[in-house]
Amino acid sequence: MIENTPHKTKAFIAGVNLNDTNFDYYMSELVNLAEAANMQVVGQARQNEEHIIAGTYFGLGKINEIKDMAQGLKAKVLVLNDELTPVQIRNLEKLTKLRVVDRTELILEIFSSRARTKQAKLQVQLAQLQYELPRLHPSENSLDQQRGNGGSTGGGFANRGAGETKLELNRRTIGKQISVIKRELQTISKQEEIKAKRRNQNHIPKVALVGYTNAGKSTTMNGLLTEFSKHCAKQVFVKNMLFATLDTNVRRIDLDNNFSFILSDTVGFISKLPHNLIESFKATLQEVKDADLLINVVDASDPNMIQMIRTTQNVLDEIGVKNTPIITAYNKADKSERNYPQIEGNGILYSAIDAKSIAILADLITKHIFSSYKKINLLLPMSAGKILSYLHENAQVLKENYQNDGIHVVARLSPQEQARFANYIN
Over the stretch 280-302, which tens digit does the pLDDT of each residue have? 777 667 788 889 999 999 999 98
Instruction: Reply yes or no on whether the pLDDT at 200 is more than 70.
Output: no
The answer to whether residue 333 scores a pLDDT higher than 90 is: yes
Lowest mean pLDDT among 53-57, 80-84, 247-251, 362-366: 247-251
pLDDT at 67: 96
Return the closest-CA partner of residue 384 out of 405, 365, 399, 415. Answer: 405
All structural domains of the chain, each given as residue ranges with its CATH number in brackets, are 9-101 (3.40.50.11060), 110-192 (no CATH), 203-369 (3.40.50.300), 374-424 (3.30.70.240)
pLDDT tens, position by position, 121-163: 898 899 999 998 888 876 544 334 444 444 444 444 444 444 5
**Please, where are the H alpha helices in 319-384?**
355-369
Strands 406-413 and 396-403: antiparallel
pTM of the predicted model as reported, rounded to 2 decimal places: 0.76
User: CB-side exposure of 122: number of CA atoms within 13 Å?
Assistant: 19
Cβ atoms 379, 426 nearer than 8 A: yes
State how far the Cα of 421 lies from the Cα of 414, in Å rounded to an integer. Answer: 11
Sign, Cα dihedral of 416, 418, 423, 424? positive
Q: pLDDT digit string (tens) for 401-416?
A: 999 999 999 988 888 8
Beta-bridge mates of residue 250: 264
